[in-house]
Amino acid sequence: MNPIQRLSLHPMTPTTLPTATVLQPRQVEQLITGQATSDGAGVKLTRVLTQNLQRRLDPFLMLDAFGSDHPDDYIAGFPDHPHRGFETVTYMIAGRMQHRDSAGHEGLLENGGVQWMTAGRGVIHSEIPQQQEGVMEGFQLWLNLPGRDKMSQPWYRDFKAAELPGFVTDAGVVVTVIAGVSHGVTGAVTREATAPLYLDLHLPDGASFNQPLPAQHNAFLYVYRGELQVGTTPVPVQRMAILANDAQADGVVLQAKGDTRALLIAGQPLNEAIAQYGPFVMNTQQELHQAMDDFRAGRLA
C-alpha cells in the first residue's frame, strides 16, 4: 500500500471525554471574508481559502463552502474535470452528491458523509447532485501532497456519517474527527507528511472547546453557524480565522456565543514550492506543463 493511503477507521462513539488542557492558547492573526464565486457548471459557492493564502496556510490549498436551497445554484454540479498533485476532502452537511472517476471509483456522498480522494498522478472525476430540490450544503478542502507523492496512484474512499469517529466533551461539545487526532480519538484518515487535523465542532451556547496543536502547524477555523470567541477576538458566522503561529502556544481555546458550528483545520507545512494552474498543483512549472500536456493527450488517468 502506498504510504499516503494509510487510514484508520473507528465508528462514531458516544463517549464523553474531559476537556483537553491548553496552557498557552493561540490568538487570531486575521479574519477572512470568503469570495463569492462559481465553479463546475455554475455551482455558486464561497471560496474561503484563496490562492493568495496557500503559503500562509500550507499544506492547505483551498477551502470552498457551498450552501443553497435554490436548485439553480447547484443542480448542474461539477461535470468531468481533472486533478493532479493533491487531495480533495468533501464534507457534505446536507444533500446528496454522486461521484464517478476515471480510476473506476463511484460513490454517493450523503448527509454528514465525507469523500476523500487522492488525485496523485491524475484522475478525471465528476460530482453531480442527486436531488432536484432541498438544501445542499458542504465544504471542499484541497490538501497538498508532498513532491514525492504527487505522482502516486489515485485513491478514493467514501465515509458515511456513522463511520466517522467522534466524541462529546464534558461541556457538551459534539466533535466529529474527520482527520487527525483529538482528545485521543483518531480520525477517519491520517497522513504522515501533512498530519492534517480536520474537526467539525458543534458547540452549545457558552461552551468551550480546547484543542492542543503543535506550535509549528498552520491552523485556521471557519464558523458556519453562530459565533466563536477566540481570546479577545469574536469570529462571526461565515468568517475564517487564521490562528497565529506562536512558538510558545500549545493549542487553541474556543468559546461559543450562541449555538455554534465550526470547522477547525490544522496541518504540518510542507515548505515546498507550489506551482498551480487550475486543477493541477505541482512543485515546478515544468511539472505543471507536463500535467497539462498529459491531460490534453489523454494520458492523465
CB 273 within 8 A of CB 279: no
Domain presence at residue 39: yes
Q: Is 263 helix (H, G, I), strand (E, B) or coil?
A: strand
Q: Is 28 among the domain residues?
A: yes
Helix (H) or strand (E) holding 289: helix 285-296
| pTM greater than 0.75 | yes
Query: Could you tell me which residues come within 8 angstroms of residue 148 by beta carbon, excluding any fewer than 6 positions away?
Result: none
Let me know if residue 2 belongs to a domain: no
- Structural domain includes residue 1: no
Identify the CATH number of the domain in which residue 29 sits: 2.60.120.10
Number of domains in the chain: 1
Q: Is residue 202 part of a domain?
A: yes
Q: Which structural domain range is residue 69 located in?
A: 12-296
Beta carbons within 10 angstroms of residue 136's beta carbon: 25
> What tens-digit pLDDT sequence spans the chain (301 residues)?
333 333 433 445 446 777 788 999 999 999 999 998 877 767 788 999 999 999 999 999 999 999 888 877 777 777 888 999 999 999 999 988 888 888 888 888 899 999 999 999 999 988 888 876 788 899 999 999 999 999 999 999 999 999 999 999 999 999 999 999 999 999 999 999 999 999 999 999 999 999 999 999 999 999 999 999 999 999 999 999 999 999 999 999 999 999 999 999 999 999 999 999 999 999 999 999 999 999 999 888 6
Q: Which three cell numbers stand for residue 60?
A: 492547505
* Residues with Cβ within 8 Å of residue 209, at least 6 apart in sequence: 19, 169, 171, 173, 175, 201, 203, 253, 254, 255
Residue 234: closest CA among 250, 257, 205: 257
